[in-house]
Structure 1
């Protein structure tokens, strides 16, 4: 009886995480799971096991699998936005868009599982305010390059943002084609396409 009780206490204690650290540990464990198994292979139980806590522990922080995946997607969008912002260089619109386009595709190839999750709206809570803000911020970086820093920020469905949507569609489409194996499925094929072909594709942003 004492051994059973000690086992339960150990599972509840996990690795001695405090409240905030456990939340982040679960996000990191979820990231490892989808990196290994893909988004469709995500398991809340496996995430808890890797974090060293009981299967019920994630519910205290995220409610359910959807909540945890939403938190992971939010972090991914924040990192994505940081990548685009860091690539926002150049004197002209074309230079800025080309630089961001390369950063966009390189992020997708380097963070394949998280990039996939970011656009799987059926698996995350699209109304989550943190997720929405992270997504809006990433789009705003691209929108400023496409339309100019002085342009009024507006909704992504406003016809005024058509130049931004065109640029977004081009780079996202290239990233998706690369990830799906359109440029080859051998190791390094997608990266070589990004290095050799994408700069030529991005020239069409001039029009």
Structure 2
């Protein structure tokens, strides 16, 4: 394979793109800075000008994954129509991302986010803030029920994505499950207490 050319200034983007290919093909264990340099067709030290070590590369991939998922969720929320329909579109966008980017999604949620000031934690927070904003104003600051709702949503969607990626259900069966899950979630006592007009 001929390494793709890059222009000065976009090496980081090229490295992240190649790292994601390697992640999909060989998992986290197959990803090293030296092999990344070889695959990208650059000197073995070139990646270190952007990623101090392997963990920094993994963190950058996870951060980028959260940002891309957040963009897809925002796009789904931007559509016209009542909240339940937009919420269903968000659920489909979430699962589509999780299925189409399974290795990245696994990395995103496996990455340690103990550093509250770190970029991965900040990117994950942006995703859940986007979901929170879609729910409308909070009745009480620090409402734990809103956090439960968002985590339950994520658990249901990631579970559905896992069923699809492990071939327990087909993509079309997964789409039916998404609609069922959002209906159950929006009809729950938790949702009705949070989403009152």
TM-score for both structures, normalised by structure 1: 0.74
Greater Rg by CA: 1
Q: Is the 8 A contact 1:39 1:116 kept in 2?
A: no
**Aligned equivalents of 1:16, 1:104: Cα separation in 2:** 31
Deviating above 6 A after TM superposition, structure 1's stretches of 4 or more consecutive aligned residues are none
Distance 2:68 2:58 in 1: 15
Alignment-derived partner of residue 194 in structure 2: none
Q: Tell me if the contact between 2:73 and 2:130 (Cα under 8 Å) persists in the aligned partners.
A: yes
After TM superposition, the structure 1 = structure 2 runs for residues 14-163 of structure 1, keeping only pairs within 5 Å, are 17-18=7-8, 20-88=9-77, 89=79, 91-122=81-112, 126-127=115-116, 129-146=118-135, 148=136, 150-151=137-138, 158=142, 160-163=143-146
TM-score, normalising length: structure 2: 0.78
The answer as to whether partners of 1:67 and 1:125 remain within 8 angstroms in 2 is no
Residue 81 of structure 1, CA deviation: 0.5
Q: Deviations over 1:139-176 (max 9, x none)?
A: 11111223x1x33896xxx4x04234324323434423
RMSD value over aligned CA atoms? 2.9
Q: Are 2:74 and 2:130, in contact at CA under 8 Å, matched by a contact in 1?
A: yes
**Aligned equivalents of 2:6, 2:83: Cα separation in 1:** 50
Per the TM alignment, residue 120 of structure 1 is displaced from its structure 2 partner at its CA by: 1.4
Counterpart CA distance in 2 for 1:80 and 1:183 is 18
Inter-CA distance 82–42: structure 2 relative to 1 (3 Å threshold): same
In structure 1, list runs of 5 or more residues that go unmatched: 1-13
CA distance in 1, matches of 2:6, 2:73: 36
| Corresponding residue pairs, total | 183
Q: Aligned with 2:50: secondary structure?
A: helix
